[in-house]
Structure 1
């Protein structure tokens, strides 16, 4: 397992303790421990394989009612199946439509309207991502062609630019069950290829709006897919 994966597992749900600091003392450790055990049982590395054969799970993640009782600040669940790593992240910044999320060891993810656009301290980090066309198609509820651009640092610290041709397709209506709530969503699939790579991103966008509750997004050949679920809005 990679160092980053070990750090995530070791700090599993540690950020919940910070976010729920207003909860009564004595109750919090038990709740954090319980939630950590729940997350540890999530098996997102197996499950249904998508038709492109990329592996991973296409099924929504579900946490039971009361798993985050007393926590009111925004919480994001992240799972990296290839590293067997699970963590929760707290939101530490908002700049326009970009939200920055962090674990307690300062591993951060940046999401632009739910689309992963940068990572830090994860290893083989994404410096920036341009997937604006993909997001526009998802917002409009339509399919179509899109191009996404990934920028990352090479071994000599030079910026590597990778361009991928993608096709976005609307999928069926699906209901996410999490924390005792039912969230009606519509599934969107983004299939991309280029630079010798093929990958599939999946997004669950709320049916009556534009919010992405859950996604499975490719972060590069070394990291693989990151499954993200917004637990608390």
Structure 2
């Protein structure tokens, strides 16, 4: 399928971070603290800003709901392209997110986008109930080139959790992935249902873009 998404120019210099722990003041992972519980992982979406959650719930596989945390912005995404096991979804203002098995592997239209990622080991660890993984994530450099960040990740199950979405109770297993690289550390949270599908997640994009709260309907 012809790619429908134009890659926007990325402005400004890449934010260089010293390696630090999850709670470090400059660490992207610090933004996750206190924000992720199954019931209130995201604030309520404005009623007039999105396709209603009830309509999303009634049309499984048609929509993804996105909360761009640092911007306080919401978007309803629809599928734009499919390439193997990677699916690109696009929403208002041409913000797009590409997923591989529910894990974010690229974004466009955000500050300092994630240009690409290799997450197969992370997904395998989730499917196995936990484990270790190596990730590669690609970012723009100051010279508009691509810099690869290699991260060592640990994935642990935090047990079962039930959250309510569009008045429907969803039972899921919550996983926490903590990744550490040379320049930064972050944590992702995934809620995986009984069918092995990531139905809700909180995933780091980049130090500038922060976190995305993602609901897959």
TM band (smaller chain): 0.7 to 0.9
Confirm or deny that 1:88 pairs with 2:88.
no
Contact 1:56 1:81 in 2 (8 A): no
Equivalent residue, structure 2, for 1:193: 180
TM-score by length of 2: 0.75
**2:152 paired with 1:165:** yes
Alpha-carbon RMSD across the aligned residues, in angstroms, is 2.5
Distance 1:52 1:158, change over 3 A: closer
Larger Rg: 1
Aligned length: 179
Taking the TM superposition and a 5 Å limit, the aligned residue runs for 1:47-86 are 54-55=32-33, 57-60=35-38, 61=41, 67-70=52-55, 72=59, 74-86=62-74
Displacement of 1:204 after TM fit? 0.3
- Aligned-pair CA distance for 1:78: 1.1
Offset of residue 80 of structure 1: 2.1
For residues 86 and 70 of structure 1, the distance between their equivalents in structure 2, rounded to whole angstroms, comes to 16
Find 2:197's aligned residue among 211, 214, 217: 211
Q: Separation in 2 of the partners of 1:69 and 1:211? A: 20
Provide the C-alpha distance between the structure 2 equivalents of 1:191 and 1:82, rounded to a whole number of angstroms: 20
Partner of 1:181: 168
For the residues of structure 2 that align with 1:53 and 1:110, how far apart are their CA atoms? 22
Match of 2:189 in 1: 202
Q: Is the 8 A contact 1:172 1:187 kept in 2?
A: yes
Structure 2 unpaired stretches of 5+:
1-7, 9-28, 46-50
Q: Deviations over 1:23-57 (max 9, x none)?
A: xxxxxxxxxxxxxxxxxxxxxxxxxxxx9774251
| Greater shift in the superposed pair: 79-88 or 100-109 | 79-88
Is 1:228 the counterpart of 2:214? The answer is yes
- Report the counterpart of residue 140 of structure 1 in structure 2: 128
Shift of 1:192: 1.1
Q: What TM-score, normalized to structure 1?
A: 0.70
Which one has the bigger helix percentage?
Answer: 1
Q: Return the structure number with greater relative CO, CA threshold 8 A, min gap 6.
A: 2
Whole-angstrom distance in 1 between the partners of 2:142 and 2:195 = 42
Report the CA distance shift for 1:195/1:101 in structure 2 as closer, same or farther (over 3 A): same
